[in-house]
Amino acid sequence: MNLILMGLPGAGKGTQAQKIIDEFHLPHISTGDIFRAAMKNETKMGLAAKTYIDKGELVPDEVTNGIVKERLAEADTAKGFMLDGFPRSIVQAEALDSFGPELDRTINAVINIHVEPDVLIERLSGRYICRNCGATYHKLYNNPKVEGTCDVCGHHDFYQREDDKPETVKNRLAVNLKANTPLVDYYTKKNLLFTVDGNRDIDDVYVDIEKILKAL
């Protein structure tokens, strides 16, 4: 199955993506993760993307489309794949409609995790991430089983994302909110959209996603 995970910043795309990977073993293509890796390595693309990401703006479509096309072409899609955080504009969705089938990578379902914007601010401001493996936690809702030790890799070093600072979060939410509505319409018209109520516990959200995926 070929999936898109959609949702505003902090809706839980990354959190639910990890659960989907654990059960369905799909290659995970997260544009946010790709940009963060490029920023960390200070590549030309990473440094260019940083100027947008640090302000909470979207990276230009032509850059993002090129990266996703490349990753999709390389991915082992025997079991399918999961796009996380892409597409984020109609231009990106239309690009995917053109290169997806060309690469034999046509989308079967779009999972839209819906969370009210005021909840998202709390989600983003409490998020912390394992510096070693990238696993995501939350200081109120999702701490490691052993305090200060990553569940996934056992390391003890965590950080907060630069773009989770309050001044950036506000603009990120506004930018993504504006971009999200036309995409919801776009995939509703294509009969591909499944909206999940993301305002609940992580495991309850996943129960709904799992049901959708098993029925595909």
Q: Is 28 in the site for ligand AP5 (CB under 6 A)?
A: no
| CB-nearer residue toward Zn ion: 14 or 198 | 14
Whether residue 105 is annotated as binding a ligand: the answer is no
Assign 19 to helix, strand or coil: helix
Q: Is 24 in the site for ligand AP5 (CB under 6 A)?
A: no
Whether residue 64 is annotated as binding a ligand: the answer is no
- Please give the residue ranges that form the binding site for Zn ion (CB under 5 A): 130, 132-133, 135, 150, 152-153, 155
* Alpha carbon distances (Å) from 56 to 70, 101, 103, 148, 171: 24, 31, 31, 29, 6
Measured distance CA(182)–CA(26) in Å, rounded: 27
Contacts of 2 (CB under 8 A, 6+ apart): 77, 80, 81, 82, 100, 105, 106, 107, 108, 109
List 50, 69, 88, 105, catalytic entry: 88
Residues 126-155 that bind ligand AP5 (CB under 6 A): 126-127, 136-138, 141-142
* Alpha carbon distances (Å) from 58 to 130, 190, 211: 24, 24, 32
List 19, 55, 71, 161, catalytic entry: 161
Assign 30 to helix, strand or coil: strand
Assign 26 to helix, strand or coil: coil
| CB-nearer residue toward ligand AP5: 123 or 213 | 123
Whether residue 24 is annotated as binding a ligand: the answer is no
Measured distance CA(172)–CA(154) in Å, rounded: 31
Whether residue 27 is annotated as binding a ligand: the answer is no
Query: Does 105 participate in catalysis according to the annotation?
Result: no
Q: Which residues are annotated as a binding site for Zn(2+)?
A: 130, 133, 150, 153
Tell me the catalytic residues: 13, 88, 127, 161, 172
Residue numbers of the site for ligand AP5 (CB under 6 A)?
7, 9-15, 31-32, 35, 52-53, 57-59, 64, 85-88, 92, 123, 126-127, 136-138, 141-142, 163, 172, 198, 201-202, 205
